[in-house]
Structure 1
């Protein structure tokens, strides 16, 4: 896929959520394509490019601002883009992986020791602080109604008031304290609800530039990559930030695969190690990506991932043949120990479960 094709596909995918980012993606001209060619391929992701451009003063409300910053600040833009990482770990991506953490928690008596690789500020380091509901119908749930398991529709497929009944199942309940509530539309081989709460005994946030949420301006930096129209997403990130501050991870500066061993070795001996990657490995060059996979396997630790469908050959080989990586509903693959268990949209809000987690 060429750079132009990648940005055109991104524009089509993001337009309903962010017209401003779609316009930026479609504004790509020969000069910007040439600029992007100066950085490694994994640094050409639209979200990363747009975040760096905003940091340098580009206004997303101006469709021509991306071209302008490319002309006026080209050396600074190339330099920043070459070393930048996307910092906005979207907490919605926890929805497809919380059931995998729950399966691990049920299979061991020890608390889990989490290494969140590519953690940014650690907003995905809190699976224990997620209350997760699965909804098996497209019908909207009233905002003032707490989700509870409901009976299935009558034979006509409707409830007593003539509307399609939504079945909502509580999959995991967060521990006490600041938490995040997530809802996912699901279908397929839906796993069973958690049999007990997820216990996390240690958290390490590994990132090339980890963010300390307690530092002034940290949250503003964190949302640089978020489209400006996504106010609901930013609000959810604030909730996740509060939950993360209640159980802050140990921040460790490092990259994959070189610093994986250092992060795992920092875990205490009385935990069950598990590595988490959520949208991280697309920014790791292909050879290093495979080295990471090989090292996780050599260490004999668990690995939970939500990564772009197809970028991990071993995981892709476990997908059923009817999964199309070009389908927006299969943009990402959730996997446990290298085996695909679900596919989802980019944000983990619509999930097709393929099989139950197997431990």
Structure 2
């Protein structure tokens, strides 16, 4: 490809559903939940194919990001306003830093990927498709189950031929995005050939900024072009790039990837990645567990001993002076605990 490929890793969130491991001063992307390296370090490592790598984060995390990704540049967003404003800001910042306009590959910092080589190859291909189509490209993960916890991408017909690539057809126009459906709808989507929306994208800065000008983020683009990013972020409402741009834009394409993947946003997901349980029948992220008639629990208790008696499918997370106990099926609701703690300034 005759232009640089730049990886942009989003690492500005906290990860409130992984409380109490994640806190306001200890975001989940800096944690080592499923291995020795942090989620951020693992993610940046998957982007070694790129000509340049940047991490987009908030000011409070910038120094820590340097420690976890010393070979990546750091972009500091003016405020945390979800992925829509963040990615528009990154496109604006990176557009003019190269002699030739780059193609950006944008990805979250908190995902589990079992096959880094296959993932990197698909991201490289997504960058090529973005240039070939002059469009917005999303990587769709081939689903392994009808999960209501993920968004879905519905392709508009068969995959297109991959140009002179002999590997066959590898992208399609997008018919629609569906965000976190109920289980029955998720089953219908999977049976109909939909992909999981992994939040992994490729585009040129000019293409994304043009699409943003036709969205609710237009005032932000105007402010950026006028050299007033702080003013633009002050006026921007928090919104995901999916809602703000992808669901409304034309020339949106999906390229599929079949790989063992998970979004490590909840304790339930951490349990899935850890496997089908250790010798106790539980998924232990940290700590020592004694289990008696207890299986399917997710335990994260660094330097602590946890005894489980006649309980199944719980989250038991004890970090520092905080303890969370909840049904595993309620892992998406942990954010409610954090919201309540924030009301009392105790998060």
TM over 0.5: no
TM-score (norm 2): 0.26
- Compare the two structures and name the one with the higher strand fraction: 2
